[in-house]
């Protein structure tokens, strides 16, 4: 088909051209004498993106799911109790992974569309006088429902309960896009993947680990090999890897980190917020409701939208895909058929969001959902115009 | 800046990924023994795109302007009279080039926004009993004003006057996008460039030449070297070139021709028409007028839009560029400040046009032109929805 | 530095341009309705590369090490006994991984430079009347020493002992390059990575699994999540993945598989053999000895070369790298300082091997090892000349 | 076929990866408000590569042949006398181009294999008391024969004769590789192409023009349009172009100029000399002779080698190409069948030259020319070893 396909799923995301260019190179020797001159500064700068000074970054040729597995198998022992709140498909899957690895999984079950239940968590922690709970697992941004939770609040709950459990965060669709502060929030393990805010192809689990988690690792008894922190860390400290790393992605990651730090993490987060506000203004203009139940939970990286009763969101998505070359996110499991999602994470700008909204409007109307043509676009436009930065004129070098 | 820049000028255009991929390769030996196995079929298939069987295609490492020069210097002699209609910047420039090469240029001066004046042309030809006019030069699609002229009509005028002049056509922004029929219309020289309907980087003049023009070439006395048909043709007939060809672009051209012939030239033209109709519906919804003065002249590759009196179109363009990452076409010379242009040529689809319209709406409103937010988008959406092809479901191989 | 760097490590390998081009594309929606139309034929054709009809292919965003882990954790239970021969760094690491996952590892310790000990294996299997050994693990091509073992022979040993153990093969540096026959040899699990014979960037574990292994999987009790066959297979059967796959690598893999099947697997193996013979002729001309102790073990994908006593192979490698832009393989652990390696796996031809030999000669002489200048190159040249295919002249299409 | 093809023609050359990456980007608006911020510094830095402060650089979407045409048609008038020495195919073609444009061409005919005849030139200039000769045309590096001439010597001849003729230089295969000094040598027009020392795809004529030549331009009467300095210069001074420039190549040119200035022009020339000396040592070891008749004329960018009587150099080239994937330069016209050429211009290093020599040795022996296997490689190796820079160890950033 003619023209560019619009990719508006909440990951994989749109790759910037500098990132593509950085990866369009031959393969290289991962044991070359000058390889550490490349990798050591990369590890150092990744810590800036995670906003940690004392933590350590691990890079596995894997995905976010692999990052989840690395987090729990490196720091816990079979039978350990973990506390996790489930309020969407990805928090559900992480809980499931814990069960597969033989943990005692204590689930805080929350309605999909809500976020992490701080009060219930605090109550559960306070009740756990024996400190049987070894880790609290938080999905920072639930990609399935477009819900962002308060990770700092979880740290405060742990402090209020004076509870020593590790705080593990799924930051797959938040780190490098939404505001994330590993040290300030006392996050012990932060899991990210390459294909979201880092704007890269899938293939890297990027995991931040605190000193406290590294201490826990020393006595953790889960079997592990591929994802072992010790084996990886021993090689990493000299700038190498214990097995062949995905050098192509590492070169792209360098370009991505340069872009993120060049823009500034606060600016990155502000941009995501401003763009997401436009998307939400568009949904409001359509008269449709979000899956996220309250503004405090609105995600700045993905907007999940409910279709009216009697309609199937899959029809919207298939129509957008086949007729208008627009990829939208599916409704998953519990919200299958009820929700479609617009991803606005990573390399995005105003005219891209407007394109997504315009395409959605056509698909919604095609399947019979009566939104006014151009209404969402108009609402987003006015938001962007009002909040546009003052225009800077280019200077000649 | 974050996100993809929107390129909506009438060329250079948006490159399809298969074309980019085809060019992402090492350089090669243009005298390699198997090079003709690549070039000869390429020449053959280019003739299909020009819709000529008896003509011959020439490829110069150059641009459309070089193609104009090749056309006139190869077939005419200094002092020869040429008849050309000027109704925009590009027809003006071609006339200027003729003067620079010492021809007697007979200009049919037409208001910008109108197209080639068939009646005036026929009258002039009939009056030229001595057949002093050696060539009639037609700008098929005047990119500056968004006006398409009737090339078949010019052939009919020549026939009505029984005039032997060569018919030369600037098809830079029409060939491979708008309907173009070299043999059927009796076009003697058709000039195109790589960076328009062929969806390639700038750097190739692609010139179709009839047998009649090749005959004229034999006695044409203009000095020429780089652009000489004989020198080029002698090498081409064996699949080689008289000097180093732009092999990278030739490899991309192969991919481009495959895409065009794969879609089918009629489908390509129909797609451009449908997309352009949407853009024009958007402009109408804004309440703005086109530079093209009558529907018969509406261009399917570029829409030139007049800003209301008291406004400067440059402000619209600069605002779109700097604030919203959207490139629009400038108003050139006579219509500078009065017109901005949306290019919709080549690798384009519905959601791209909607993006362009949405960006324009923001920029227009920013400079104070009171178009209703989302109005143009809405009009185009409804046009695209009504004319969308039935949805085809993918099949598993 | 100027000029192309020479990459002659035994993986990552040199990427063909069609593979690079296939990956130079935007990211895509892994849940798109037409995604299975891409993935299902890919799975089908991968089976051809593994030469299996009844087996199943799994693709994990991981590396060869991850493939090893997938093999053992999916089919065995903690405490199970595995029989493995260790004769190099990679067989050593696989044994180590087994220990990390809690298996009872029965090691056949063999001198580095020899291959899998068929007789000792058969004896051990015959002695195991209780069938406590659940799996025999074979490193088909030990990359550290340049030794290829006889996998078919291991199957015969199992048959001779009428032993039901699973036959697991590390084919990381053999599959898609050296002759490998999954069904014929009764291989139950075959592990490969993307960055060797598949000529892709690192990032995929490619694992072939027999029906017998899938049956064993049903009762295997090792904890697993990321690498779980059931979870992966359930999604794969419809052409999808349980978590985000590395779509970029999958697109490259399509190009790679097309190249391999286009050349023909027998031709691929013959080419590797012919090129390796030239490299070995060069080493013989230098008067140096191979790490591999007997011709039956010579590897066609990597040649490990011993430096004379009193010299350090690291000096050769560093000189080649820094002074002549040539990457050679290090000697690992037991053979560190004693061995350097020339990789000739994947996308290689005669003039590339000659380049590697020429560069080695300079580096060897620079560190004081007295090989005659040009001697290895000359020996390889004459081998290539004698075995060159008859020249085919290109045909014009 | 498997493996990388070796490209050792004297242009197009091997593209560095940074240059490829710089061009792997979307097309762009050549009238964008910030385009001059890119182009003006590029023009400025190109002057450094030409080593001119007072001159001006012109960039035409064309080739070296177009550059020749631009040089003569912009500064001369029909019938003007030009003095040119012909000693190879490319000097011959430039003389031919002059005739096509109607000049009175005074040819100094020299044996192929010799260089520009300084004495004969000086004599001719001194005899031209009326200053009828308007330009002296010098092919700095005759690519057909591997001969470099003394451009500074031509300036001295002009000075000795106190002759005001313009000094025009074909620097297509010398500028940005061999030492070239526009201001110091008083060169009035220097012509280069993108596909040689600039390591880019074909498609740009890069022309340096002195103030004296720009003055001559004001009264020069040759018809011209596409190549007109005035039209181009008027747009260039603001950072724009009069017609669509090849933006992709301009972006690559930026990367290329950065590489050249980063290495330093003196270092670039020294590298070419050192590598060429190795190639010539190889030829000497083969016992073959060069086309260049004296050391003072040896070219550092291309080595033309004579085959012994009774052999056809085309057979060597075809064998190398088809059997060993090696592209060598053909013998052209007068030396067709007698000469083959190894290009060593641009992005080249030691192991690439050794590869070329090794491939040549196989092809030479295949056709029956009795060179000793490995002999040329050995000679070049020893030259490179003796002249290798001290090894620098990498530093960790």
Give residue-wise pLDDT tens across range C304-350: 999 999 999 999 999 999 999 999 999 999 999 999 999 999 999 99
Do A349 and B385 lie within an 8 Å CB cutoff?
Answer: no
Indicate whether C213 pLDDT > 80: yes
The closest CB to that of C21, out of B21, B393, B396, belongs to: B21
Tell me which chain C residue has its CA closest to the CA of residue B41: C397
> What contacts B181, CB < 8 A, 6 or more positions away?
B51, B152, B187
Q: Give the domain ranges of chain B.
A: 6-12+264-386, 17-262
Three-state SS across C153-188? HHHHHHHHCCCCCEEEEECCCCCCCCCCCCCCCCCC
Name the residue among A185, A158, A160 with its Cα closest to residue A174. A185
- Does the domain formed by A6-12+264-387 have CATH 3.90.1150.10? yes
DSSP letter string, A314-353: HHHHHHHHHHH-EEEBPP-GGGTTTEEEEE--SS--HHHH
Which of B355, B371, B379, B387 should one mutate to test binding to chain A, selecting the residue with the greatest count of A CBs within 10 A?
A: B355
Q: Give A-chain residues touching B351 at CB under 8 angstroms.
A: 3, 6, 324-326, 355, 358-359
The closest CB to that of A396, out of D21, D24, D36, belongs to: D36
The closest CB to that of C388, out of D323, D351, D385, belongs to: D323
Q: Is D243 on the interface with B (CB under 8 A)?
A: yes
For residue B142, the surrounding DSSP H or E stretch is strand B141-142
d(CA C320, CA C305) in angstroms, rounded, equals: 15
Give the phi and the psi of residue B175 in degrees, each rounded to 5: -60, 135
Which of B1, B3, B17, B344 should one mutate to test binding to chain A, selecting the residue with the greatest count of A CBs within 10 A?
A: B3
Do D195 and B7 lie within an 8 Å CB cutoff?
Answer: no
Three-state SS across chain C? CCCCCEEECCCCCCCCHHHHHHHCCCCCCCCCCCHHHHHHHHHHHHHHHHCCCCCEEEEEECCHHHHHHHHHHHHCCCCCEEEEEECCHHHHHHHHHHHHCCCEEEEEECCECECCCHHHHHHHHHHCCCCCEEEEEEECEECCCCEECCHHHHHHHHHHCCCCCEEEEECCCCCCCCCCCCCCCCCCEEEEECCCCCCCCCCEEEEEECHHHHHHHHHCCCCCCCCCHHHHHHHHCCCCCCCCCCHHHHHHHHHHHHHHHHHCHHHHHHHHHHHHHHHHHHHHHHCCCECCCCHHHECCCEEEEECCCCCCHHHHHHHHHHHHCEEEECCCHHHCCCEEEEECCCCCCHHHHHHHHHHHHHHHHHCCCCCCCCHHHHHHHHHHHHHCCCCCCCCCC
d(CA C119, CA C123) in angstroms, rounded, equals: 6
Give the pair of three-digit tokens for residue A366.
């095609």
Tell me which chain C residue has its CA closest to the CA of residue A60: C62
Mean pLDDT of B206-213: 98
CB interface of D with B, residues 17-36, below 8 Å: 20, 24, 26-33
Mean pLDDT over the full length of chain A: 97
Checking DSSP bridges between strand A147-148 and strand A141-142, what pairing results, if any?
Answer: antiparallel
**pLDDT number for residue B392:** 57
Which burial class, exposed, middle or buried, applies to D293 when counting CB atoms under 10 A from its CB (0-12, 13-18, 19+)? Answer: middle
Give the pair of three-digit tokens for residue C385.
């000349």
Q: What is the pLDDT of residues B257-274, one digit of tens each?
A: 999 999 999 999 999 999
Alpha-carbon dihedral B114, B118, B119, B124, rounded to 10 degrees: 110
HSE of B122, CA atoms in CB hemisphere, 13 A: 13
Mean pLDDT of A256-273: 98
The closest CB to that of D244, out of B78, B202, B226, belongs to: B202
d(CA A330, CA A350) in angstroms, rounded, equals: 23
Q: What is the pLDDT of residues C288-317, one digit of tens each?
A: 999 999 999 999 999 999 999 999 999 999
Q: Give B-chain residues touching D104 at CB under 8 angstroms.
A: none
Give the pair of three-digit tokens for residue A250.
């590492």
**pLDDT number for residue D392:** 57
Alpha-carbon dihedral B52, B58, B64, B65, rounded to 10 degrees: -130
> What contacts A244, CB < 8 A, 6 or more positions away?
A30, A61, C11, C12, C63, C64, C193, C195, C202
Diameter of chain D by CA atoms? 66
Q: Is D3 on the interface with A (CB under 8 A)?
A: no
**pLDDT number for residue C392:** 57
Indicate whether C393 pLDDT > 80: no
> What contacts A264, CB < 8 A, 6 or more positions away?
none
d(CA A140, CA A117) in angstroms, rounded, equals: 12
d(CA C283, CA C380) in angstroms, rounded, equals: 9
Q: Which residue has the tokens 């695209």?
A: B384
Architecture of the CATH domain B6-12+264-386: Alpha-Beta Complex (3.90)
Question: Do the Cβ atoms of B161 and B201 come closer than 8 Å?
Answer: no
**pLDDT number for residue B396:** 41
Mean pLDDT over the full length of chain D: 97
Indicate whether C1 pLDDT > 90: no
Give the phi and the psi of residue D18 in degrees, each rounded to 5: -60, -35
- C396 confidence band (pLDDT: 50, 70, 90): very low
> What contacts D129, CB < 8 A, 6 or more positions away?
none
This prediction's pTM:
0.97
Mean pLDDT of B18-32: 95
Beta bridge partners of D209: D56, D189
Q: Give C-chain residues touching B25 at CB under 8 angstroms.
A: 17, 21
Question: Do the Cβ atoms of D310 and D369 come closer than 8 Å?
Answer: no
Radius of gyration of chain A measured on its C-alpha atoms: 21
Q: What is the pLDDT of residues A265-296, one digit of tens each?
A: 999 999 999 999 999 999 999 999 999 999 99
**pLDDT number for residue A1:** 82
C230-C232-C234 Cα angle (round to 5): 65
Give the pair of three-digit tokens for residue D107.
């040819």
Which burial class, exposed, middle or buried, applies to A343 when counting CB atoms under 10 A from its CB (0-12, 13-18, 19+)? Answer: buried
Residues of chain D with pLDDT under 50: 393-397
Question: At the topology level of CATH, where does D6-12+265-387 sit?
Answer: 3.90.1150
Q: What is the DSSP letter of A4?
A: P
Q: Which residue has the tokens 């560029």?
A: B321
Name the residue among B77, B269, B76, B99 with its Cα closest to residue B174. B269
- A392 confidence band (pLDDT: 50, 70, 90): low
For residue A118, the surrounding DSSP H or E stretch is helix A118-127
Q: What is the pLDDT of residues A135-170, one digit of tens each?
A: 999 999 999 999 999 999 999 999 999 999 999 999
Q: Give D-chain residues touching C375 at CB under 8 angstroms.
A: 374, 378
For the domain made up of C17-262, the CATH class stated in words is: alpha beta
Question: Do the Cβ atoms of B160 and D211 come closer than 8 Å?
Answer: no
Regarding an ipTM greater than 0.90, the answer is: yes
Q: Give A-chain residues touching B281 at CB under 8 angstroms.
A: none
């Amino acid at each position: 088909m003619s023209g560019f396909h619009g990719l508006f799923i909440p990951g994989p995301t749109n790759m910037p051209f500098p990132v593509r260019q950085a990866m369009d190179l031959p393969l290289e020797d991962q044991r070359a004498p000058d390889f550490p001159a490349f990798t050591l500064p990369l590890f150092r700068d990744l810590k800036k993106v995670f906003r940690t000074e004392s933590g350590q970054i691990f890079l596995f040729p894997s995905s976010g799911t692999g990052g989840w597995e690395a987090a729990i198998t490196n720091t816990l022992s079979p039978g350990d109790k973990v506390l996790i709140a489930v309020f969407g498909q990805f928090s559900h899957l992480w809980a499931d992974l814990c069960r597969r690895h033989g943990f005692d999984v204590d689930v805080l079950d929350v309605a999909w569309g809500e976020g992490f239940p701080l009060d219930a968590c605090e109550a559960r922690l306070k009740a756990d006088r024996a400190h049987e709970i070894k880790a609290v697992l938080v999905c920072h941004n639930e990609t399935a429902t477009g819900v962002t939770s308060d990770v700092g609040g979880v740290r405060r709950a742990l402090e209020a309960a004076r509870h020593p459990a590790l705080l593990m965060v799924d930051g797959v669709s938040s780190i490098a896009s939404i505001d994330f502060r590993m040290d300030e929030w006392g996050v012990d393990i932060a899991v990210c993947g390459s294909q979201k805010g880092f704007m890269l192809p899938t293939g890297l689990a990027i995991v931040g680990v605190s000193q406290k988690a590294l201490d826990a690792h020393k006595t953790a008894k889960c079997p592990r090999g591929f994802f072992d922190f010790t084996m990886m860390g021993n090689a990493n400290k000299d700038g190498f890897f214990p097995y062949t790393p995905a050098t192509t992605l590492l070169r792209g990651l360098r370009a991505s980190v340069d872009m993120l730090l060049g823009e500034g993490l606060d600016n990155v987060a502000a941009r995501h917020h401003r763009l997401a506000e436009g998307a939400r203004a568009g949904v409001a203009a359509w008269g449709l409701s979000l899956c996220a139940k309250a503004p405090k939970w609105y995600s700045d990286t993905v907007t999940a939208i409910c279709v009216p009763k009697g309609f199937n969101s899959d029809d919207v998505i298939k129509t957008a895909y086949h007729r208008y070359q627009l990829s939208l996110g599916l409704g998953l499991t519990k919200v299958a058929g009820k929700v479609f999602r617009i991803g606005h994470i990573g390399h995005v700008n105003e005219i891209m969001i407007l394109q997504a909204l315009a395409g959605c409007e056509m698909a919604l109307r095609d399947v019979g959902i009566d939104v006014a043509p151009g209404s969402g676009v108009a609402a987003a436009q006015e938001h962007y115009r009002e909040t546009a930065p003052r225009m800077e004129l280019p200077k000649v070098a």
